[in-house]
């Protein structure tokens, strides 16, 4: 706990971006947590506190600066400590050796299920009245002892092979890994169509903001109003409409001019949309296949969302204005900078 505290306190002073904070948690704190949980049995309360620290660090929230969390933790990380026992049970299997360590009634040795999942207590009563019996008590010289097992259970027992040697408990068909355990434990979130669109080869901060935009988690005025803050301000880009995610990144006159400038520069077709989700869907379908060309366009998409948000903040906090055309040029050249090559695009007027 002290280690996590000292790490987050040290980093807090460095003014790291949102994407940087996510990456530091992923690359530094999460492996630490994996190491500790592989050596010690950490109480769920401790894991919850560490997760809270990571959550607060990601959103820049502390005792002095109270910050809003744009995305809930389940969506951001989604590990699930509760019910781990159930997860382990459903993802693990027993290999029956001599049966001396497997409890007949108390262990889920039937492909992850208990014997009582298949038979009534009336039937199981005839098998044994001792709840603590081991499977080994029904094995004789490496075979099921048919004299001790009721006839109606013979077929069921015989489907489980007795391997001999020590009993084993294993994870699925393969070796246990934290990755497979994490995938088994985590709350499954519906897959999103924009995954490849957002997580491209561009700058990590572009991807991080694109995800926030598409999750409707950017803290716009409408977002704040939904959280109970009363605001009367309008979009700083066009000074006309109320600022929402869809407006700011898609429907705003200013934003649309930026998109259209990029259409001119990068030679593709874009029709007007009334939501950023619709625009992203069109984009994802258009640039579905993996190629250098589609990589470039996906990067343009995330960079545009990031630069629009940056422009909004520059106007709001620094009174600094950039024209739609200049902003499109910034998006284009920053993307080209990453690609490191001059593609065959003919850029007129640059």
| Nearer CB in complex with Zn ion: 84/219 | 219
Count of residues touching Zn ion (by CB under 5 A):
4
| Nearer CB in complex with Zn ion: 92/241 | 241
Say how many CA atoms lie within 13 Å of 67 toward its Cβ: 16
The verdict on 327 binding Zn ion (CB under 5 A) reads no
Query: Smallest distance, Å, CB 241 to Zn ion?
Result: 5
Length of the chain equals 350
Cβ(167)–Cβ(101) below 8 Å: yes
How many C-beta neighbours within 10 Å does residue 168 have?
A: 13
Query: Smallest distance, Å, CB 270 to Zn ion?
Result: 18
| Nearer CB in complex with Zn ion: 62/253 | 253
| Nearer CB in complex with Zn ion: 249/301 | 249
- Where b means 16+ CB within 10 Å and e means fewer, 93-115 reads bbbbbbbebbbbbebbbbeeebb
Near Zn ion in 222-281, by CB under 5 A: 235, 237-238, 252
| Nearer CB in complex with Zn ion: 237/303 | 237
Query: Smallest distance, Å, CB 233 to Zn ion?
Result: 11
Query: Smallest distance, Å, CB 54 to Zn ion?
Result: 34
In DSSP notation, 135-158 reads GGGGEETTEE-TTTS-HHHHHHHH
Q: Distance of CA 131 to CAs 46, 100, 134, 136, Å?
A: 35, 14, 9, 14
Cβ(235)–Cβ(242) below 8 Å: yes
Query: Smallest distance, Å, CB 234 to Zn ion?
Result: 7
Phi, psi for 15 (deg, rounded to 5): 50, 55
| Nearer CB in complex with Zn ion: 124/235 | 235
Query: Smallest distance, Å, CB 252 to Zn ion?
Result: 3
List residues near Zn ion by CB under 5 A. 235, 237-238, 252
């Amino acid at each position: 706990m002290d280690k996590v505290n000292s790490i987050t306190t040290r980093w807090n002073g460095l003014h790291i971006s949102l994407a940087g904070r996510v990456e530091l948690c992923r690359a530094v704190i999460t492996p630490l947590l994996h190491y500790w949980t592989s050596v010690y049995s950490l109480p769920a309360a401790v894991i919850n506190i560490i997760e809270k620290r990571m959550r607060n660090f990601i959103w820049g929230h502390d005792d002095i600066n109270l910050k809003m969390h744009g995305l809930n933790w389940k969506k951001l990380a989604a590990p699930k400590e509760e019910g781990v026992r159930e997860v382990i049970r459903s993802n693990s299997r027993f290999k029956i050796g001599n049966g001396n360590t497997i409890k007949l009634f108390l262990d889920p040795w039937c492909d992850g299920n208990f014997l009582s999942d298949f038979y009534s207590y009336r039937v199981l009563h005839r098998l044994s009245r001792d709840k603590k019996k081991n499977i080994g008590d029904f094995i004789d010289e490496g075979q099921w002892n048919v004299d001790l097992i009721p006839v109606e259970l013979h077929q069921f027992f015989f489907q489980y092979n007795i391997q001999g040697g020590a009993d084993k408990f294993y994870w699925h068909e393969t070796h246990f890994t934290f990755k497979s355990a994490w995938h088994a434990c985590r709350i499954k979130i519906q897959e999103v169509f924009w995954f490849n669109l957002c997580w491209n080869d561009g700058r990590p901060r572009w991807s991080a903001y694109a995800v926030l935009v598409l999750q409707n988690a950017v803290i716009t005025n409408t977002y704040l109003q939904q959280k109970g803050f009363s605001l009367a301000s309008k979009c700083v880009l066009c000074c006309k409409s109320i600022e929402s995610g869809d407006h700011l990144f898609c429907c705003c006159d200013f934003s649309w001019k930026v998109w259209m400038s990029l259409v001119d520069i990068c030679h593709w077709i874009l029709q007007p949309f009334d939501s950023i989700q619709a625009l992203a869907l069109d984009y994802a379908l258009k640039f579905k296949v993996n190629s250098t060309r589609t990589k470039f366009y996906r990067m343009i998409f995330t960079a545009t969302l990031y630069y629009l948000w940056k422009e909004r903040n520059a106007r709001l906090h620094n009174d600094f204005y950039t024209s739609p055309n200049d902003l499109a040029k910034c998006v284009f050249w920053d993307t080209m900078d990453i690609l490191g090559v001059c593609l065959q695009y003919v850029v007129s007027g640059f």
